[in-house]
């Protein structure tokens, strides 16, 4: 944490490796999973601010014929709907179901085109704009649109527009590398109740196409969100659009009470009044929670290594614990900036 008077405070808990019991590094790298979506959304909104695209452009305008078949129609889905998870596109997303499945598929790589084609095998969950449902595939399409508009991959644009200007030296796209730079904590997953903990640190990750994919540190994630909400990355008009929210689904409300979805950002109520902004992420073995106040002056990032949840109730308890950490930091600590656990 960095307090308002300039003090740097980092809190760690547990061990980085259950075998060696070495301590958790305060500067550890981890896969930030869906927190990547906030970076991708920022690039899209920057392009909108530059006049290179409009949030009301259709997917068909930039990716002709890509979203089609089985009732899917790119002519009725706008970039804004992709950003806000109201496209209706069904997610057909790979996930590890057992330790054997993990070992068999942890190095698998899927292109953006393969991910979208898998989704197109299904009918839409609803007509565009008529409901809300979290969609990884929508952000894969946004990554493809960035490539079409700029001629560069989404992660190159994130690098050139965000990480380099902000000096986020530990935030990068690892490509298809299954390893993390040191220092980092090992991470583990239990795939069934009562089953063994499986070291899942070495893996490509379930997404690398803009829906997820970045590696970072707690300090860098905080610096990004502080810059974003502080107005350093987007013009005022685009930041205002990013913060135009709608309610999330009932399923998400159970885990994130009071949450509302903007364009690549979620707002959550604070116990001390007002709201905070951020975007959580979860990958096999990692969970990331973060929050920044509306003025961008205070922020906190929590990184958890090891997923031990045996049931939906366990998942809920983990979500409640990490949400309390974020709320406590933003409401009770003066100028909170960084926490890693």
d(CA 218, CA 230): 18
d(CA 225, CA 199): 30
Question: Shortest CA distance to 280 belongs to which of 248, 250, 312?
Answer: 248
d(CA 158, CA 163): 6
* Largest separation between any pair of C-alpha atoms in the chain: 57
At 201 the three-state DSSP class reads coil
d(CA 53, CA 265): 20
The answer to whether 34 is a known catalytic residue is yes
Strands, E assignment, the chain: 30-31, 68-69, 72-73, 188-190, 197-199, 215-216, 246-247, 260-261, 266-269, 275-278, 281-283, 286-293, 299-305
What residues contact residue 229 under an 8 Å CB cut-off, 6+ apart? 239, 277, 292, 293, 294, 295, 296
What is the crossing angle of helices 136-150 and 36-49, to 10°?
Answer: 40
Can you give the three-state secondary structure of 115-177, one letter per residue? Answer: HHHHHCCCCCCCCCCCCCCCCHHHHHHHHHHHHHHHCCCHHHHHHHHHHHHHCCCCCECCCCC
Annotated active-site residue in 34, 299, 303, 341: 34
Residue 29 phi, psi dihedral angles, 5° rounding:
-85, 150
Q: Catalytic site residues?
A: 34
């Amino acid at each position: 944490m960095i307090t308002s008077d300039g003090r740097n405070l980092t809190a760690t808990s547990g061990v980085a490796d259950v075998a060696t019991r070495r301590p958790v590094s305060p500067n550890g790298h981890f896969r930030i999973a869906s927190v990547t979506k906030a970076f991708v959304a920022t690039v899209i909104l920057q392009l909108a601010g530059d006049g290179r695209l409009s949030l009301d452009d259709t997917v068909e305008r930039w990716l002709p014929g890509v979203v089609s078949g089985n009732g899917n129609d790119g002519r009725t889905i706008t970039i804004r709907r992709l950003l806000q998870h109201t496209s209706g596109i069904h997610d057909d997303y790979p996930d590890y179901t057992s330790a054997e499945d993990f070992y068999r598929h942890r190095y698998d790589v899927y292109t953006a085109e393969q991910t979208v084609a898998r989704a197109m095998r299904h009918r839409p969950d609803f007509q565009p704009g008529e409901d809300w449902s979290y969609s990884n595939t929508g952000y894969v399409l946004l990554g493809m649109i960035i490539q079409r508009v700029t001629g560069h991959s989404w992660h190159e644009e994130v690098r050139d527009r965000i990480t380099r200007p902000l000096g986020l030296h530990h935030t990068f796209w690892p490509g298809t590398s299954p390893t993390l730079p040191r220092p980092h904590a090992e991470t583990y997953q239990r795939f069934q109740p009562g089953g063994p903990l499986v070291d899942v640190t070495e893996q490509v990750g379930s997404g690398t196409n803009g829906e997820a994919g970045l590696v970072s540190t707690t300090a860098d994630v905080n610096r990004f969100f502080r810059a974003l909400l502080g107005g350093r990355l987007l013009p005022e008009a685009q930041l205002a659009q990013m913060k135009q929210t709608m309610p999330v689904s009932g399923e998400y409300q159970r885990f994130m009470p009071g949450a509302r979805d903007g364009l690549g950002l979620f707002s959550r109520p604070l116990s001390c009044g007002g709201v905070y902004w951020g975007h959580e992420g979860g990958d096999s073995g990692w969970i990331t929670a973060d929050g920044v106040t509306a003025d961008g002056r205070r922020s906190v990032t929590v990184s958890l290594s090891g997923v031990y949840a045996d049931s939906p109730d366990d998942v809920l308890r983990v979500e409640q614990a990490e949400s309390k950490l974020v709320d406590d930091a933003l409401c009770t600590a003066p100028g909170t900036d960084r926490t890693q656990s």
